[in-house]
Amino acid sequence: MHRDVKPMNLMLCVQGGRHDVVKLLDFGLVKEIGGGHEEQLTQPTKISGTLLYLAPERLRAPDRVDARTDIYSLGAVAFYLLTGKHHLSGGTDADLLDRILRQEPVAPSKRTDQPIPPELDELVRACLSKEMDERPADTAAVLAVLDSIKSLEPWTEERAASWWRAHRG
């Protein structure tokens, strides 16, 4: 488990001739799960990570985190990418901590004028659910929903290569 998924820790690159390879960076808060033992680099009861991407269970029950904790953060990243705004906003850190625990997620389509397919809107809301059990179980479940959205224009290798050629400095 990464425990600090946020835009600053995601890098888009070309690797092995493939475009748009996403690399997850900064493993300072990683926690290994499964395999009968758990190792971590940080103490589970300390609040660490970036508040705007922090899942509620990291505050409520830090010993009860799993892949769905990173799914929440992925939902926060998706919300930001779709709207240009954070799903939670403003105030002091204490205000933000309160919103993490209590404020229900808003659909990204409510925070932008850009069209967002309803299925994508619902997926992001599900990822941002306050309850772990209401989120997709893992990234495979997220990808399955994304693959099923027919109204999304496919992002092909050709389109990606064209974008990289146009924007490489």
Query: What is 112-151 written as a DSSP string?
Result: -SS---HHHHHHHHHHT-SSGGGS-SSHHHHHHHHHH-TT
Residue 76 is predicted with a pLDDT of 95
The CB density around residue 85, as the number of other CB atoms within 10 Å, is 13
Annotation says 121 is catalytic: no
Residue 74 falls within a domain, yes or no?
yes
Residue 41 is predicted with a pLDDT of 46
For the chain, the average pLDDT equals: 83
Residue 1 falls within a domain, yes or no?
no
- pLDDT grade, residue 46 (50/70/90)? low
Give Cβ neighbours of residue 8 (< 8 Å, ≥ 6 apart): 26, 50
For residue 135, the Cα-to-chain-centroid distance in whole angstroms is: 12
* β-sheet bridge partners, residue 11: 23
Q: Please report the sign of the dihedral spanned by the C-alpha atoms of residue 65, residue 9, residue 21, residue 130.
A: positive
Residue 49 has pLDDT above 60, yes or no: yes
Catalytic residue among 4, 63, 133, 147: 4
Residue 112 falls within a domain, yes or no?
yes
Residue 2 is predicted with a pLDDT of 52
Specify the higher pLDDT residue, 51 or 163: 51
Number of residues that this document lists for the chain? 169
pTM, 2 dp: 0.77
Angle (CA) 116 139 144, round 5°: 60
Residue 98 has pLDDT above 90, yes or no: yes
For residue 27, the Cα-to-chain-centroid distance in whole angstroms is: 15
Count CA atoms within 13 Å of residue 24 on its CB side.
Answer: 14
Please state, in angstroms and rounded to a whole number, the distance separating the CA atoms of residues 13 and 19: 6
130 token code pair? 């306050």
pLDDT in tens, 99-135: 999 999 999 999 999 899 999 999 999 999 999 999 9
Residue 115 falls within a domain, yes or no?
yes
Segment 25-54 mean pLDDT: 61
**Domain CATH code at residue 142:** 1.10.510.10
Residue 22 falls within a domain, yes or no?
no
Residue 56 falls within a domain, yes or no?
yes
Residue 31 falls within a domain, yes or no?
no
Phi-psi region of 35 (alpha: psi -120 to 50; beta: other; left: phi over 0): left
- Total domain count, the chain: 1
Residue 44 falls within a domain, yes or no?
no
Residue 148 has pLDDT above 90, yes or no: yes
| Structural domain containing residue 114 | 49-163
